[in-house]
């Protein structure tokens, strides 16, 4: 069977991480993975596509079940080396409907159809002679092959595995699908390109396309984050008034809608980033801080934010309650939701709405009128940095999260993350765009493009840190 792209069968003993490696290398979180041996019962194809083009294709296969019996059958049919692949085909033809050899037939068929071999072993378990029957069977096929040592647990038997595997395979590498980053992925593909002369150019072309695709994913992610900040800062929530003055309930309602709108923007951005990086099935654990309802004018809160009550009044009236040191507290979150930020801002808004003398002026982005009540755009100068910090942390987590992982990921950001991206010079560069976003003028496309490029630079810096 001829193919226009390189194809590889991932084979080995049951429960050694074959499916995890397929999932990681194909960026596919739909591959069925389980600790239970025998989860993969039929061979399944997983192509890696970029812009509709298949760069390479991996076959997830069942594990060997009766390699000793298969090898014994093969050895009963002695032939010269150039004919051994014919013996493998004869075995397949004769035992195709024999349930005892179902798994061996499943894993051998794609190899005999032209797929290269990626043999996977568990480097945390001692080498055993029982694996030699499997490796000898694979050698019968005559297909180019390499071995991957997957360190599943903490014990390390890598060296003894290398000594044994190098007697059977041209290339032997250690590869952990749970922790492998992009550079390791590329290095593995470059090794595969050396297995067969006919694969060298196609694999090099695939690697070049893959690298360009990776850069495009960063650009798309930066665009999503830039759009999030722009829409959050320029967002306005308006509620028609039933009477001449805004009631307490109406003030609470417009505030509730405004906060929910900002939360919805952030959650939509997260979903977009997860989709960009093919993590549509990502399971997240996000706990909200209990900031809702905290009174910004209490003695306790004043000490946390480093401002007195009078200072808060002045700050809120002039700059939208830009609470200085508060950004440090709000970066230390157990969630990427805006409960902390918006809860604090909303608390101040509620307090100000209680003063009749301020009912006709803009306070924290709110405009009160006789016919409608309006909240936004947000003038708080800390908010975009809170949004950026959380969005960058989320994106960085998603980018570095292996598609082989099936556990729930805890997105827990600490204050140290801020030092990776928020330096004074960068803040100055960002602030000029944030000022434009807060204004009620239409932001031209080139402004958002420039802001996106700046975010992309930050995102790459964080990913490389």
Q: What is the pLDDT of residues 307-325, one digit of tens each?
A: 344 433 333 333 333 333 3
374 CB contacts (<8 Å, ≥6 apart)? 236, 237, 238, 239, 254, 366, 367, 368
Retrieve residue 427's tokens: 């803040």
Nearest to 288 by CA among 363, 236, 340, 223: 340
Q: Could you give all domains of the chain from N- to C-terminal order, each with its CATH number?
A: 7-195 (3.40.50.300), 214-464 (no CATH)
Residues whose CB is less than 8 angstroms from the CB of residue 303 and which lie 6 or more positions away in sequence, other chains included: none
* Model pLDDT, residue 318: 37
Query: What is the rounded CA–CA span in Å between residue 348 and residue 345?
Result: 5
pLDDT at 363: 38
pLDDT at 335: 38
Which tokens hold the place of 288?
A: 């909200």
CA pair distance 145, 432, nearest whole angstrom: 55
State residue 240's pLDDT score.
77
> 398: closest CA among 238, 265, 169, 220?
220
Q: Provide the β-strand partners of residue 373.
A: 239, 368
**Amino acid 274: pLDDT:** 94
Q: How much is the pLDDT for 30? A: 80
Task: Note the pLDDT of residue 32.
Answer: 67
Measured over the CA atoms of residue 151, residue 152, residue 155 and residue 160, the dihedral's sign is negative
**pTM given for the model:** 0.78
pLDDT for residue 441: 63
At 395, list the tokens. 């994106």
Q: Is 82 exposed, middle or buried (0-12, 13-18, 19+ CB in 10 A)?
A: exposed
Spans in the chain with pLDDT lower than 50: 1, 36, 287-369
pLDDT at 420: 82
Q: Maximum CA pair distance of the chain? A: 100
CA-closest candidate to residue 394, choices 268, 292, 230: 268
The total of other beta-carbon atoms located within 10 Å of residue 394's CB is 22
């Amino acid at each position: 069977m001829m193919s226009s792209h390189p194809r590889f069968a991932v084979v080995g003993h049951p429960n050694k991480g074959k499916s995890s490696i397929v999932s990681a290398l194909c960026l596919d979180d739909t591959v069925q993975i389980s600790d239970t041996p025998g989860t993969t019962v039929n061979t399944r194809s997983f192509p890696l596509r970029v812009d509709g083009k298949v760069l390479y294709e991996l076959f997830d296969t069942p594990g060997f079940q009766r390699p000793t019996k298969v090898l014994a059958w093969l050895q009963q049919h002695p032939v010269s080396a150039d004919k051994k692949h014919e013996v493998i085909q004869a075995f397949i033809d004769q035992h195709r409907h024999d349930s005892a050899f179902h798994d061996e037939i499943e894993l051998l068929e794609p190899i005999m159809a032209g797929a290269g071999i990626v043999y996977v072993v568990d480097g945390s378990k001692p080498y055993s002679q029982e694996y030699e029957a499997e490796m000898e069977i694979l050698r019968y096929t005559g297909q180019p092959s390499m071995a991957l040592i997957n360190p599943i647990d903490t014990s390390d038997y890598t060296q003894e595995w290398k000594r044994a595997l190098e007697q059977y395979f041209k290339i032997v590498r250690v590869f952990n699908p749970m922790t492998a980053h992009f550079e390791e992925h590329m290095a593995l593909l470059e090794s595969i390109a050396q297995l067969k002369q006919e694969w060298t150019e196609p694999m090099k072309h695939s690697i070049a396309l893959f690298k360009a695709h990776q850069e495009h994913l960063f650009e798309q992610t930066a665009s999503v984050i830039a759009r999030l900040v722009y829409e959050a800062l320029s967002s306005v929530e308006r509620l028609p008034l039933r009477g001449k003055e805004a009631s307490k309930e109406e003030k609470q309602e417009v505030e509730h809608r405004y906060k929910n709108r900002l939360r919805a923007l952030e959650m939509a951005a997260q979903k977009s980033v997860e989709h960009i990086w093919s993590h549509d099935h990502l399971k997240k654990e996000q706990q909200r801080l209990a900031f809702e309802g905290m009174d910004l004018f209490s003695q306790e809160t004043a000490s946390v934010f480093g401002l007195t009550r009078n200072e808060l009044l002045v700050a809120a009236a002039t700059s939208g309650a830009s609470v200085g040191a508060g950004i440090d507290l709000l970066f230390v979150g157990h969630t990427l939701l805006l409960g902390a930020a918006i809860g604090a801002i909303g608390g101040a808004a509620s307090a100000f709405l209680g003063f009749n003398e301020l009912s006709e002026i803009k306070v924290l982005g709110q405009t009160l009128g006789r016919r409608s009540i309006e909240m936004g755009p947000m003038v708080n100068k800390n908010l975009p940095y809170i949004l950026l910090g959380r969005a960058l942390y989320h994106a960085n987590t998603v980018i570095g999260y292996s598609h082989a992982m099936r556990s729930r990921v805890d997105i827990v950001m600490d204050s140290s993350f801020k030092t990776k991206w928020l330096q004074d010079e960068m803040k100055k560069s960002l602030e000029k765009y944030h000022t434009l976003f807060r204004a009620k003028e239409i932001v031209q496309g080139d402004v958002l493009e420039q802001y996106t490029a700046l975010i992309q630079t930050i995102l790459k810096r964080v990913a490389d840190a």
